[in-house]
A = this chain, B = another copy of it.
Amino acid sequence: MIENSGRPRAVDALVFDAYGTLFDVQSVASTAEALFPGRGAALAQLWRSKQLEYSWLQSLMQSPGQPREDFAAVTAHALSYAAEALALPLPAHARHRLLDAYLHLSPFPDAEPTLAALAPRRRLILSNGTHAMLAPLAAATGLARHFDAILSADDAGVYKPSPRVYQLAVDALDCPPIRIGFVSSNSWDAIGAKAFGFTVFWINRSGAPIDRHGPAPDCMIRSLADLPALLTAA
């Protein structure tokens, strides 16, 4: 049972997922629609779905001699598959525009005021993205000044929801997992973080059902703006 509001939680720091949580990936779908009128939503959806699938599969397939590829490579492979599966021709310029869209996302409108309201607690980003994808995005959107650090799954050599990725935040914050508030719009990420031991806030903007493969997040909220009221005084 997930509490929709419930008692305030005592956390010392907050860790945010990036794609879909702080940054709106809708502009990727808009770029896809501009390139392939009437098929943009299908392309963006299959691309995203394969991007996640490939990140999990590469993590599981790892063996000592076969490290995983980084998220930029996984994202490019997933786009190739999605375009072929939907029989959409993907010349170099279209491919470049679509991949480039991931580097120029907009933050959700409530991201900046929420981050500001959460100070003086420490705030981190923990994402599957590479540092080369995340740092320019955080800088260009102005969100970078609200963060103490940006952590990439690359630092653990595996993707979320591996506990080795969540451990990066514990090591960076030197704080027990239960005192860390983890915030993600991705149900599988929220569940992985809860299994790890964080206090988890699932941002469920679309009213989706919760996944069933692990422990439910502590709180479900509809937007980032609902977050500060759920925390005890810093």
**Quick check: A163 and B61 within 8 Å, CB to CB?**
yes
Contact status A211-B66, CB under 8 Å:
no
For A59, list chain B residues within 8 Å (CB).
60
Q: Knowing A60-B161, A66-B195, A162-B61, say if A213 contacts B77 (CB, 8 Å).
A: yes
Q: Give min CB distance, A171 to chain B, whole Å.
A: 15
Interface size in chain A (residues, C-beta < 8 A): 36
A148 within 8 Å of B by Cβ? no
Residues of A within 8 A of B (CB): 50, 53-54, 56-63, 66, 69, 74, 77-78, 80-81, 84-85, 158-159, 161-163, 188, 191-192, 195-196, 208-209, 211-214
Closest B residue to A85 by beta carbon equals B209
Write the nearest CB–CB distance from A166 to chain B, whole angstroms: 10
CB pair A163–B81 under 8 Å, yes or no, is no
Q: Known contacts A53-B188, A57-B188, A188-B53: does B195 contact A77 (CB below 8 Å)?
A: no
CA distance A192 to B213 in the complex (A): 22
Asked if B161 contacts A211 (CB within 8 A), the reply is no
